Amino acid sequence: MHHIGRQAFYDDVKQQIDSLHRIGYVVYYELVTTPQSIDSSVKDTLLRKFRKIVGQYSAGGYLKKDGLLAGKKYKFLKELVNQPKDHSIGLDAAIDMNVDAFLNDLVNAYENKYSKIILEPCDFDTGLNDEYNCTKINNEAGRNFFLKDYRNDFITNRIINSPDNKIVLLYGKNHYYGILNNLLQKIPAGI
């Protein structure tokens, strides 16, 4: 999956998902969320910690309405759109599943493995959708753990323990090799 692409790409994804649904496949897709039970102030803090690790927060998509991507304007962006919402690419809420880690679990795992994320006044003074110029955590291994490794392990375990026999994975390409390698290590040969 591309989180930014041409509309024709997403139209093709929708057609493929529709075809796979007709022959009994369920789609597992990525989307880091928070449990509904999480209080809004806790969610706000978690999102700010996410932004401190990653360096940006992209509510509504990576491509902004003003034509900016990560705060910069690029000529090639005029042909691109953000990844459409679930139903627009053929996902069916009745059968398909968001199989991804919760944000609170990600933050807790990061803090347990590396260190507590300390938010500064700048982190609170900068709106979540505003350009982020505060001090970002400079830890590439931690960033990879947060964005890929922890989630890939979580996703792999859900796949292995799933009762579903026909599964389609709809994740960004940065998850491909991590999930594939995990599956190859965890599933006995010959299955």
| Domain residue extents for the chain | 4-186
Nearest to 123 by CA among 137, 110, 140: 137
pLDDT band at 146 (very low <50, low <70, confident <90, very high): very high
CB 120 within 8 A of CB 135: yes
CB 32 within 8 A of CB 102: yes
The DSSP code for 97 is: E
pLDDT band at 75 (very low <50, low <70, confident <90, very high): low
pLDDT of 138? 93
Q: Give the phi and the psi of residue 54 in degrees, each rounded to 5.
A: -85, -30
Count of other CB atoms within 10 angstroms of residue 171: 19
